[in-house]
């Protein structure tokens, strides 16, 4: 029998992430500038970090967190067409 693990825990314990389909719908709503609601619990209190700029310009890494259930998703906000300009 192997001895019990005595080191530090590995991984991201207690981090609640959205399921892939929920994450995609929330990211899509954010990119379109729509009001955000949690696809998991239905709460209307989804926090966006950093807050959206008035001019709608891309801001790099964006994190969306439901204040009610604590689920989160992060994505990279890019300008439309920025991928095609890389070629």
d(CA 24, CA 5): 36
- Percent of the chain clearing pLDDT 90 (strictly above): 55
Query: For residue 4, what pLDDT is reported?
Result: 63
Sequence ranges of the domains in the chain: 20-78
- For 29-67, how does the pLDDT look when each residue is reduced to its tens digit (9 = 90+)? 999 999 999 999 999 999 999 998 887 677 789 999 999
Query: For residue 59, what pLDDT is reported?
Result: 78
The pTM for the full model equals 0.72
Instruction: Read off the tokens for 62.
Output: 């964006």
């Amino acid at each position: 029998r192997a001895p019990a693990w005595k080191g530090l825990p590995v991984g991201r314990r207690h981090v609640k992430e959205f399921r892939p389909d929920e994450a995609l719908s929330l990211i899509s709503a954010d990119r379109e500038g729509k009001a955000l609601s949690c696809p998991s619990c239905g709460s209307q209190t989804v926090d966006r970090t950093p807050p959206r700029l008035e001019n709608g310009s891309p801001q790099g890494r964006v994190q969306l967190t439901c204040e009610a259930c604590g689920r989160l998703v992060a994505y990279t906000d890019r300008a439309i067409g920025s991928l095609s300009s890389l070629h």
